[in-house]
Amino acid sequence: MPPLTEACPPAWAEAGKAALAVLDPALGGIEALAGPLPWRRRPRGFGGLARTVLGQQISNQAAGAIWRRYATLPGALEPEGLLRLEDEALRGAGLSRPKVAHLRGLATACLEGRLRLDALSAMPDAEAIAHLSAQRGLGPWTAQVHLMFSEDRPDIFPHGDVALAASVAHLRGLPARPAPRALEALARGWAPWRSLAARLLWHHWRHATGRPAGEEP
């Protein structure tokens, strides 16, 4: 299974792009320079959450390599299967000891009903972020990215993301990256399309830095 799969954009994406071009013409001009925005999606449920967790605090390239090995392990994309795997198999796929423990904790939380991934779609954004963030080791960034890429939420913005801050600074010619609170305040002007704005900004940053158009966070 690839780290992120190419997918057809949801029905709201084109309307969102048109609205963002009016709200912020700089965002509206990104595709003209960087090319069409690829729409990438992660699996829903435990598999998608595991991919986001594996990408925490490491490069996209390293995360992608680890994920490709992890995803081939029998049962690794479901809580029950993950708990049946030996630590040696998970470590052999490249997971650190803390991430092995973290995934085991999340799998247990799913089976015990403390983490209800199947109920996320019925939760408003703030409730869904709070539910995910309440789990040990799942901070707001992980919750927001999971909701963006596994649940296709249109109005989520991971304001603590360094690449988003760097992209905004480059796009607007700022002398420094905006701090998370400043970035959060700026993103309010892109509602209700903040997820789409984030995708465009990541797309712009890949183009600006010459990085391959592979993974989002």
List pLDDT tens digits, range 60-89.
Answer: 788 889 999 999 999 999 999 999 999 999
Task: Output the CA angle 112-115-116, nearest 5 degrees.
Answer: 100
Q: What's the whole-number mean pLDDT along residues 12-24?
A: 96
Q: Work out the number of other CB atoms within 10 angstroms of the CB of residue 152.
A: 19
Q: What is the pTM (predicted TM-score) of this model?
A: 0.89
Q: Is the peptide bond before 192 cis (omega within 30 degrees of 0)?
A: yes
Q: What is the pLDDT of residue 6?
A: 65
Q: What is the mean pLDDT of the chain?
A: 92
Confidence class for position 2, pLDDT limits 50, 70, 90: very low
